Amino acid sequence: MDKTNDRTVYANPGDIELTRKAADDNVELVADRLRKMMPECGFGELGTCCVMCYMGPCRIDPFGLGARTGVCGATPDVIVARNFLRSATGGAASHAGHARELAILLLEIAEGKAPGYKVREEGKLLSLAGKLGVPVDGRPVDAVAGDVARKALEDFGRQDGKPMNWIRARSSRIEYAKWEKLGLIVSNPHNEIETAMHRTSMGNDADPLNLWVATLRMGMVDNFAGLMLATDLSDIIFGIPTPKVVTANYSVLKEGEVNIACHGHNPILASKVAEWADRLEGEAKAAGAGRVNVVGICCIGNELVMRYGVPYAGHEAQTELFLATGAIDAMVVDMQCIMPSLPVIAKCYKTRFITTVPFVRHPEAIHVDFNTGAADERAQEIVRHGIAAYKERKAAGIRTRIPDVSSKALTGISVETLVSVLSTVDAKDPLKPVIDAIAAGEILGAVGMVGCPNPKLRDGAMTEKMAEGLLRNNVLIVTTGCVNHILAQGGFLTSEATERYAGPRLKKVLTAIGQAAGLGGPLPPVLHMGSCVDNSRIYDLLAALAGKLGVEISQLPVAGSAPEFITEKAISIGSFFLAAGILVHLAPAPRVFGSPFAVSLLTEKLPALNGGKVLVAATPEAAVSGILAHLREKRQALGLAQA
């Protein structure tokens, strides 16, 4: 980490300002801890460290002088495959948990047990019900909702080995047949997760290929039992995202207001907090504050911004810095990506740190036992914590600093939105303009940039530089997750970005669409498709494009990239995109290099089998050139014009 001085034009001046303030306040940040950790353990980096039984820990000498197998005899190929499967399982478990909460909520809504919530998107409910074989004619909405929820929960409990309802309902025939052939159709997410943990524990599966197939199956669990189920049900309960122009970055915090930051992933809690923030404005005024200002951090920022237009604060790596502003009264979190450092830092600034999920707790946090049956009461309690903390913070004279940095961003481009925007160009056949533009080489291809901000690559502005490189080469970008925050703060989610970064051909297409849609400028070159579970939207879009062309998704000139990933969730999402036959770029390097088998499988054998391929490139230049080469290869295979 000798890159601290390598600040780029993309470096967020607010980050720099608050890093200095945190140093003055003696607050340790993620970058400080990372510096102390470097260099990180090479055995772990290669994936050849095994701690699954107590004959170990075992580590394989990658240079061949020392141990060549673990104490149990596991080869590095087996150790790497087991470790990787376990990470994919961690990610899929997170997404399945997220989705299951929503399925239970939908059932509670149908049964009248969750008075604070209702079905907002009847159209999507009915269309999904149709796909799931749930009768809809003449039935009340709640009855249909109950049956859809039961179909979802049936998937979690299915023991008959039959394919998941969601896979049957939500995959195209051509992809389904391909997965069936490869043995990737899964029946029950919980069974897959159980089996993965079982087979990777001491003395079970020692066939690297069998273990890697299980990883691809875990990808299927992730997408169909996690991402897609969660997106479908979120849309039904909270509404389909619509385009919203919002403000991003630190200046969304307001001096003189009760600032409540929502952090985490599931909109069940945060939507209620946002609602009660408005309803309790009177109490905030009585406490001497202007109003209650809710802002969204991390994926909850994406969920709130694209449905309610809530200010779009920042990404996961900025959470500590947001606290260091001293201007946040309450940070309320649900699950995933919540650094344990946060409640400790919150204490320094009299910020109330509120956990709400039984399995996400911290000794320094206030725990509010949030549940859907009493959602309104709990949300009020949380907002009142913020109001009370505001008074305390003012009385204590906490020094605040809100960096004056902001940018505009167009968010909320769901597939439904995109289709309606494109309908303005061609009402009968909305996807035609995009397909024509791809065919003519005006759009060279599309890349889904997804995932997290990794402090290891943040100083080099990996994500921004990659985005710029791709756009210059006429590649359209769709994004989800915290990458959205990075690119929003870098100004990529605007019409101006099209003028500034897009190559001439891409600029022409986006300008035409923007004008037809009445945006008053070009469509932004980076399309915000939501949170990390909304990668299902990217898959839906690709499936629609492939379906229109009558080809497999793997034949499209598209790629996925997690340019700064951190979490196991990125591993499981990537595993699904590999199963779907898409090139997946990863940085930092996945922990597979200790296994020659894994390297050859992911770069040579799998591409030949189903088109899926891993590209590891830790510099933006290498990533862009690798992806461009892939897109050109796919175009050539389809006989498309070379741009």
Partner 1 sequence: MRRVVYDPLKCTACKTCELQCSVAHSRSGDLLAAIFESPPPLPRLSVAWTPGVNVPVKCAHCETAPCLLGCPVGAIRREGKSDSVLIDEDRCIGCFSCVLLCPYGAVRLSFDRKRAYKCDGCADRISEGLEPACSFSCPTGALAWREVEEVAREKTALTAVRDAAALARGGEIAAGEGSPLGTILKMREEMARG
| In the complex, minimum distance from the CB of residue 40 to partner 1, in angstroms, rounded to a whole number | 8
Closer to partner 1 by Cβ: residue 80 or 107: 80
How far apart CA 439 and CA 170 sit, in angstroms, is 26
Shortest CA distance to 423 belongs to which of 410, 414, 432?
432
| In the complex, minimum distance from the CB of residue 482 to partner 1, in angstroms, rounded to a whole number | 25
Q: Is the dihedral of CA 184, 187, 193, 199 positive or negative?
A: negative
Query: What share of residues in the chain are helix, strand, coil (percent, to 5)?
Result: 55, 10, 35
Closer to partner 1 by Cβ: residue 1 or 23: 1
191-203 burial, b at 16+ Cβ within 10 Å, e below that, comes to: bbbebbeebbeee
Could you tell me the CA-to-CA distances from 384 to 277, 287, 609 in Å, in that order? Answer: 9, 10, 56
**Residue 226 has what DSSP assignment?**
I
Question: Cβ(112)–Cβ(130) under 8 Å?
Answer: no
Closer to partner 1 by Cβ: residue 32 or 426: 32
Extract the tokens encoding 451.
């995932």
Closer to partner 1 by Cβ: residue 45 or 376: 45
| In the complex, minimum distance from the CB of residue 33 to partner 1, in angstroms, rounded to a whole number | 13
Interacting residues with partner 1 (CB under 8 A): 37, 39, 41-43, 45-46, 59, 61-66, 589, 593-594, 616
Closer to partner 1 by Cβ: residue 64 or 520: 64
CB atoms inside a 10 Å sphere around CB 450: 29
Positions of E strands within 399-549: 407-411, 445-449, 475-479, 526-528
| In the complex, minimum distance from the CB of residue 625 to partner 1, in angstroms, rounded to a whole number | 17
| In the complex, minimum distance from the CB of residue 45 to partner 1, in angstroms, rounded to a whole number | 6
Question: Cβ(553)–Cβ(580) under 8 Å?
Answer: yes
How far apart CA 563 and CA 540 sit, in angstroms, is 22
Closer to partner 1 by Cβ: residue 467 or 587: 587
| In the complex, minimum distance from the CB of residue 89 to partner 1, in angstroms, rounded to a whole number | 24
| In the complex, minimum distance from the CB of residue 39 to partner 1, in angstroms, rounded to a whole number | 5
> Counting Cβ atoms within 10 Å, is residue 24 exposed (0-12), middle (13-18) or buried (19+)?
exposed
Shortest CA distance to 617 belongs to which of 576, 559, 556, 561?
561
**Cα angle at 447 between 444 and 448, to 5 degrees?**
160
Q: Is the dihedral of CA 501, 506, 511, 514 positive or negative?
A: negative
Closer to partner 1 by Cβ: residue 76 or 560: 76
Shortest CA distance to 336 belongs to which of 573, 117, 119, 10?
573
| In the complex, minimum distance from the CB of residue 212 to partner 1, in angstroms, rounded to a whole number | 19
Closer to partner 1 by Cβ: residue 74 or 280: 74
Closer to partner 1 by Cβ: residue 64 or 140: 64
Closer to partner 1 by Cβ: residue 421 or 586: 586
From its phi and psi, is residue 138 left (phi > 0), alpha (psi between -120 and 50) or beta? Answer: left
| In the complex, minimum distance from the CB of residue 41 to partner 1, in angstroms, rounded to a whole number | 6
| In the complex, minimum distance from the CB of residue 46 to partner 1, in angstroms, rounded to a whole number | 7
